[in-house]
Amino acid sequence: MPRPLRPIDDGLIYHVINRGNNRQPVFHKPADFQAFLQALADLKARQPFELYGYCLMSNHFHLLLRPGGATVSRIVQSLLVSHTQRYHKHHGSGGHVWQGRFKSPVIQADEHLLNVLRYIEANPLRARLVSRADDYRWSSFAAHGQGRLDPLVDRLIPYDELSPYPKVRQRRWAERVHAPLEDQTLERIRRSSATGLPYGDAAWLGRLAKKLALDLTIRPRGRPRRQVASEK
């Protein structure tokens, strides 16, 4: 599958997605989910970064994060290595647990960011695992939709701007998460998740590409095709 360049710059926010090797389940029981969250907490203590949202599903995970000193690649690789070691120790297994290359599209820090957070926390609803996001234990919805303390979750300004009053903010957020995303928005987020392309408006994408001197488009795998005389 073609892959885009991974933009790297101070202040960028990434939607990180990775799946179990060969799309196999990784989280089989509550202790498996808890071990991953503990690995995430331990990593935040060693390599500080801001985490705005997350959701762990049986064979994949979503993280919405802003790196601190380390790059997003260093953060995610450290997380996967740490979790894989815990997984093998607990299950007495070996080999690959996660797919080798994760996706990490950059997200514009405005309503687009809230759309992605909404998409992440509504995953269990779309998968019909629960009828209410409140009933799913392994996501950041409890922090945003119910006001529960979650040490993993950092303050997100676009979320705070929903209302100056916490209870109103939580109610408005819960209403958003439980309402289906518009088809066009859902399609754009899914395309971004699948390809790794940034998600934002055209003006922001243009500024990002210019600032980083990158072509933020899909590039084919492998070597460039040789140009023949008829193509010159």
**pLDDT tens figures, 2-36:** 455 555 666 899 999 999 988 899 999 999 999 99
230: left (phi over 0), alpha (psi -120 to 50) or beta: alpha
What's the domain range around 162? Answer: 13-212
Query: What six digits make up the tokens of 74?
Result: 């260093």
Tell me the pLDDT tens digit for each residue of 77-133: 999 999 998 888 888 787 888 987 899 999 999 999 999 999 999 999 999 999 999
* pLDDT tier for residue 228 given thresholds of 50, 70 and 90: very low
In a domain, 37, yes or no: yes
Residue 188, SS3 per DSSP: helix
Residue 37: per-residue pLDDT:
96
pLDDT of residue 10: 62
pTM above 0.75, yes or no: yes
- How far is residue 192's CA from residue 75's CA, in Å, rounded to a whole number? 20
The tally of domains found in the chain comes to 1
**Residue 86 CB-density burial (10 A; 0-12 exposed, 13-18 middle, 19+ buried):** middle
CB of 4 closer than 8 Å to CB of 219: yes
Asked, for residue 22, whether it belongs to a domain, the answer is yes
Beta bridge partners of 67: 49
| CATH code for the domain in which residue 72 is found | 3.30.70.1290
